[in-house]
Structure 1
């Protein structure tokens, strides 16, 4: 009996983890990684690889490509490889630059003014949406 309870708890934890870390429809790699970093922090390349596995499994060179861009881990995707395109973000209509998806309530809610909701990419792409631009290498 106690073993069944443990298995059920493990299944529920797995379902919760999948729900909290799923990729939203048309969400780009960089927006996903940024969102996961805000929620859970950097844990190596976990979020980058999860995105690849869920949306672009054929992108087997993603990790190497990011490493060449200076992103050896998830936090460096948003710090070294890409940066927000603040000119584009400033030009967005006001209602778009304060929205954020809440996975717990499955609703859009107010968020910090930093990065707007993802502008979207085609399925299978590992490119960033228009909110991000490539950071120049120094």
Structure 2
């Protein structure tokens, strides 16, 4: 039996919606965890496509979100997880080959945020707060 979403196209990305991809914002999911999940399953489009989708669904009144992220150094969705927020060091795991700390291979469950928040959960730290 075909999926109910088999002929539905995402209004922002113009990509067919895929139930397995799970492009819906999950209850309590923070922006950083949502971006991490989306970028891990779909390519970055070089824009704030997923950020804008999150804002429209979760926090439609946060009209300055993209401006805030740009001011923090991001130019697209994937930059947000590199230049604005990084995975909390407490969640990193030791790589058996290099002995360095790396992100876990399994997704970390979102620690959740309050409704309508565009801030990250405690799984993420602001890059500006990290020591150089």
User: TM-score range, shorter-chain basis?
Assistant: 0.7 to 0.9
The answer to whether 1:32 aligns with 2:34 is yes
What stretches of structure 1 of length at least 5 have no aligned partner?
1-8, 91-110
Deviation at 1:72, TM superposition (A): 1.4
Distance (Å, rounded) in 1 between the aligned partners of 2:123 and 2:50? 19
Deviation track 1:34-56 (CA, whole Å, cap 9, x = no partner) reads: 11000011111110000000000
Partner residue, 2:17: 17
Partner residue, 2:63: 60
Distance (Å, rounded) in 2 between the aligned partners of 1:45 and 1:32? 13
Runs of 4+ in 1 over 2 A off after TM superposition: none
Deviation at 1:18, TM superposition (A): 7.0
Partner residue, 1:128: 120
Deviation at 1:133, TM superposition (A): 0.5
What stretches of structure 2 of length at least 5 have no aligned partner?
10-15, 93-103
Partner residue, 1:49: 52
Partner residue, 2:12: none
Question: Which TM-score applies when normalising by structure 2?
Answer: 0.73
Number of aligned residue pairs: give it.
109
Higher relative CO (Cα under 8 Å, sequence separation at least 6) belongs to 1
Partner residue, 1:79: 82
Report which of the two structures shows the higher radius of gyration computed on alpha carbons. Answer: 1
Q: Which has the higher helix share?
A: 1
Q: Is the 8 A contact 2:113 2:121 kept in 1?
A: yes
Question: Which TM-score applies when normalising by structure 1?
Answer: 0.70
Deviation at 1:13, TM superposition (A): 2.7
